Structure 1
């Protein structure tokens, strides 16, 4: 049995290998604040403490990076007290919790933010239907983004979470820098993989300096699932650089293909990518995607394709999934 084994060789020690990945609920207030609806939702999902870790849905670091209406926010200090209620609830239920912080970049819309979307380059977002042409960020804009992520991480720590996860997947801003489909810059933030992850390394460094020994996770869109997209070799190089820069756990998902692979239905469809990344780093790796049965999770862990397994939609549909899974080992 693998799913019920603790994770001990990590800054974020966990009691088992089952995590609930971030899934947007659209239950926050108009200002991105915590509502009773959100508290009720996470209470239902985490009661009994069967999940080792709950990663909270993506939360915007600045209004310009807000992805959708009723998205959670970590953009203001005034939101910390509400976030404390959420972290306390989950921890009191017996699970650890990490907050995911995000900037939507060219996946944002003027209708939601009141501002023109930005991106690494003036290229419309291939992960979004009817995407508009974003404004290419200048270096001052990049500095602001780095600072926004740092400030958000400080708020997450103050709110009592067990760690912070940087979102660089699913076609959002940091993923737009990572992917050659959307990053056509000719300065030091573009070009080969070293340039395309420069903003990531600056964010990791800024967060690490601001939060000290606090665990940092990074969700990485390891494939665009397109021939002209991110290669697995570049994903491995990026993952290795993130680990060296101070990331404690890598969370593997999709890039411009978002959270699925077109035409691929098999359980754990990102597992080949997590396995390749696990081979390139010594830190723990999470994989999520299409895992709906305990046996599927067991196979991924047994075959060492990941260290932790995220079960999203199955837990979303059935709040007793984690309980049933962990009790099957008793």
Structure 2
């Protein structure tokens, strides 16, 4: 059996393969209420029918102010929970697992809708925006100065993540991921480039990691048997910023606090930096986190062919593969990969069996 199609078990939950859908923002909650609807059902359902082992839905805000844009999804109320249940039900009907990425956008919140000319600027209150928050009053380049969270507000956020985790389970999600990457709130606490606090949440690495570890512990307390992932940016790609070695250390601490698995991306904290983007360019970050942190982790980023994904696993560089843009281009990547790699799988949907890759 190829490594891509070798099942993986995490905290008693079995994944049918190691081809997983990376969380990708959709900006399709067009009523500005955080409610998923038919787009989210069809989008996630397409990946599940296409053979993915895990369908991780987009960054989903734990508070209204935690959305990247007013068109982003949320899970801060029961009505949203009930809408998500329809999505997880269909994903399960196709034999895949459903995951949710719980998030707070922090200083990058209240942006204009993604993939538009206005994106990358703070939307003012007059247009439906709000004041962003962060570890410190340091803006994301091009955006407004955020409000620095006080200790009571930090405590409320830990509660919000815990409450969203409970709703995630009630909605039928099999996996919960904490978003601590791409310059959003938790990343802004981790990186010294965005955290100048002088209290227990700033300064040393232990202090900068404190909020993340509190959220990991809170979610583990309300979801004792659920696989818990953390997505990190493995590096800020900038002098004086967050490093792969720090990522590995905090991943190890997060594992001690109850996290099971790590999803290693990079960047997002600052703009106008040079990143040499080449095939598999982030895989070395995953290797570093696995080796130094002693944890299991997935690779993501410019992984575009079955052969490339398979070789990353065969070489022991990652434990699973998250795919984003390639799955957007080809939602049936997993079914094609099985054909390319000579694997026989029993979860090709009946209507697809006339396709050339069966």
TM-score normalised by L of structure 2? 0.86
Partner SS for 1:323: helix
Question: Which range is displaced more, 259-268 or 211-220?
Answer: 259-268
Matched, 1:115 2:130: yes
**C-alpha RMSD of matched pairs (Å):** 1.9
Partner SS for 2:198: coil
The unaligned stretches of length 5 or more in structure 2 are 111-122, 344-358
Which structure 2 residues correspond to residues 73-222 of structure 1 after superposition, within 5 A? 73-109=74-110, 111=124, 114-126=129-141, 130-222=142-234
Deviation for aligned residue 1:11: 3.9
The unaligned stretches of length 5 or more in structure 1 are none
Structure 1 segments of 4+ aligned residues over 4 angstroms from their partners: 257-261
Partner SS for 1:90: helix
Distance 1:77 1:147 in 2: 16
Deviation for aligned residue 1:12: 3.4
- Residues 54 and 98, structure 2, Cα contact 8 Å, conserved in 1: yes
Q: Deviation digits for residues 75-119 of structure 1, max 9, x if unmatched?
A: 112211111000011111111111001101100125376431110
Partner SS for 2:8: coil
Distance 2:244 2:275 in 1: 19
Partner SS for 1:279: helix
Which structure 2 residues correspond to residues 1-330 of structure 1 after superposition, within 5 A? 1-8=2-9, 10-30=11-31, 31-48=33-50, 50-109=51-110, 111=124, 114-126=129-141, 130-256=142-268, 262-328=274-340, 329-330=342-343
- Residues 122 and 135, structure 1, Cα contact 8 Å, conserved in 2: yes
TM-score normalised by L of structure 1? 0.93
Question: Which range is displaced more, 39-48 or 177-186?
Answer: 39-48
Question: Which range is displaced more, 3-12 or 272-281?
Answer: 3-12
Q: Deviation digits for residues 118-137 of structure 1, max 9, x if unmatched?
A: 100011124xxx11111111
State the aligned residue count.
Answer: 326
Deviation for aligned residue 1:9: 5.6
Q: Which has the larger radius of gyration?
A: 2
